[in-house]
Amino acid sequence: MTAADDRQKEFERRLSSGDAEALGELFALYRARLWRTVSFRLGGRLAGRVDPDDVLQESFLVAAQRINHYRQDWSASAFLWLRTIVLQVLVDVHRRHMGTQKRDADKEMPIFGHYPQATSASMAIHLVGDITSPSQAAIRAESLDLVERAIAGMDPIDQEILALRHFEELSNSEVAEVLDIQPKAASIRYIRALERLKEILLAVPGLMDGQDGQQHG
């Protein structure tokens, strides 16, 4: 275990005793990772209307009110506990901002059930945006719908594994904990989902042109 790991465990121990200062330390430690979650999960229309930093600020205040919840099971990862709160705040943000536009909002909101499922729309927007350049606007517009529909046809858990590993950059063990599956199963499903995703992208006309030899994270 590294010094950073020891420091993290100490923060978690202090948080389990209700130490609000430790909560601040942990939130700062995980802020970049939580911001990545918010940025991905906001959805197309809200992305231009809601600042992820505002979502994180609200999430921190909610976490401060729920320290006792963490105290009840402090063996859980503090990061995943904070991420759960962020996802709950995101649901509230969607409801507040979409309001009377509920029918449209429902199409964009992630489905929060046993696990928080990423929308195929969010995945398509990020994937196509990463691959295409501004000069390829026409290709981007034509590709979005095709990619979204193809991703929507994947198994929901495979979609979520891709979102967690590729976009939120969670570790395999964190993905396994979030989805309540074994780490080996999470790893196998991720590899399978990646292969399916490559097939989807290669099948979209013009989308992968010029991508040979380029490295993507």
The pLDDT assigned to 70 comes to 85
In one-letter notation, the amino acid at residue 96 is R
pLDDT at res. 134: 66
Write down the pTM of the prediction.
Answer: 0.80
CA distances from 177 to 22, 84, 92, 115 (A): 23, 12, 24, 10
**What domains does the chain contain, in order, with CATH numbers?**
3-109 (1.10.1740.10), 112-203 (1.10.10.10)
**CA atoms of 149 and 131, how far apart (whole Å):** 18
Structure confidence at residue 174 (pLDDT): 95
pLDDT at position 110 is 44
Confidence at residue 73, expressed as pLDDT on a 0 to 100 scale: 65
Report whether 33 contacts 86 (CB < 8 A).
Answer: no
Would you call 21 helix, strand, or coil by DSSP? helix
pLDDT digits (tens, 9 = 90+) for 91-143: 888 888 776 454 444 444 443 443 334 567 788 878 877 776 766 777 677 78
pLDDT in single tens digits along all 217 residues of the chain: 688 788 888 988 898 888 899 999 999 999 999 999 999 888 666 777 889 999 999 999 999 999 988 877 656 689 999 999 999 999 888 888 776 454 444 444 443 443 334 567 788 878 877 776 766 777 677 788 888 888 888 888 899 999 999 889 999 999 999 999 999 999 999 999 999 998 988 888 777 765 554 444 4
Q: What are phi and psi of 148, to 5 degrees?
A: -60, -45
